A and B are shown apart, each in its own frame.
Chain A
Amino acid sequence: KNEVEQSPQNLTAQEGEFITINCSYSVGISALHWLQQHPGGGIVSLFMLSSGKKKHGRLIATINIQEKHSSLHITASHPRDSAVYICAVNDMRFGAGTRLTVKP
């Protein structure tokens, strides 16, 4: 069993839908990162959090330390949100990623 599990692996949504991507981990952590990777390979760090909730525009990330679970939410999704979303913990153990496709 991987130490960092993401779900779902693939997600297709219609433009405007609310999206949730989940990340569960089995190790103690000091920080959790949410990353976005577009086709071509470039990675952008979306959030780094160790407790509670953070919001940037249409993106919201939450973490529950006791349950060892984090979620990434996208409100009013748009085709430009289509990317692979990856969570990572601590010494950079990565989830396998969630491939999101948002259709117009």
Chain B
Amino acid sequence: KAGVTQTPRYLIKTRGQQVTLSCSPISGHRSVSWYQQTPGQGLQFLFEYFSETQRNKGNFPGRFSGRQFSNSRSEMNVSTLELGDSALYLCASSLGGHPTGELFFGEGSRLTVL
């Protein structure tokens, strides 16, 4: 059974640009959640989607957005990038749904903003 796949794994952008990250969940999982990890702030929850609907949202500005498609694949977008957006972005999929479902994480997308 394939795991959670995130693309791209590494990317470099400049301030002001936008970026789109993709997450393909484990087959049959309908919940996808996104997280940001930085050395200073640790892991922080961004948002969670279940059956194409955003169910939960963390405390991030509106520049961070996401969506989920009918096949459960999810994308997150960050617009007008800032230096502080440099981070490892992780997604996780779950069968039952966040937060009480077991989470399966992808390897992450490491974003560097110059």
Contact = CB atoms under 8 A, between A and B. Distances in A.
A binds B: yes
Interface of A: 30-31, 33, 35, 40-45, 48, 50, 86, 88-97
26 contacts: A30-B99, A31-B99, A31-B100, A33-B99, A35-B103, A41-B90, A41-B107, A43-B105, A45-B102, A45-B103, A45-B104, A48-B101, A48-B102, A86-B42, A86-B43, A91-B45, A92-B33, A92-B35, A92-B43, A92-B58, A94-B42, A94-B44, A94-B45, A95-B42, A96-B42, A97-B43
Which applies to chain B's interface (DSSP): helix, strand, loop or mixed?
Answer: strand
Given A41-B90, A43-B90, A91-B58, 16 more contacts: A35-B105, A41-B37, A41-B110, A42-B105, A42-B107, A48-B100, A48-B101, A48-B102, A88-B43, A90-B99, A91-B45, A91-B98, A92-B98, A94-B42, A94-B44, A97-B43
A2 B67 CA distance: 30
A97 B40 CA distance: 12
A64 to B, nearest CB: 18
A94 B90 CA distance: 14
Chain B contact patch, size range: 20 to 34
B77 interface: no
B32 interface: no
A5 to B, nearest CB: 12
B71 interface: no
A97 to B, nearest CB: 6
Nearest to A48: B102
Contacts of B99: 30-31, 33, 89-92
Contacts of A31: 99-100
B26 interface: no
B108 interface: yes
Contacts of B101: 48
A69 to B, nearest CB: 18
A40 B10 CA distance: 12
Contacts of B33: 92
Nearest to A96: B42
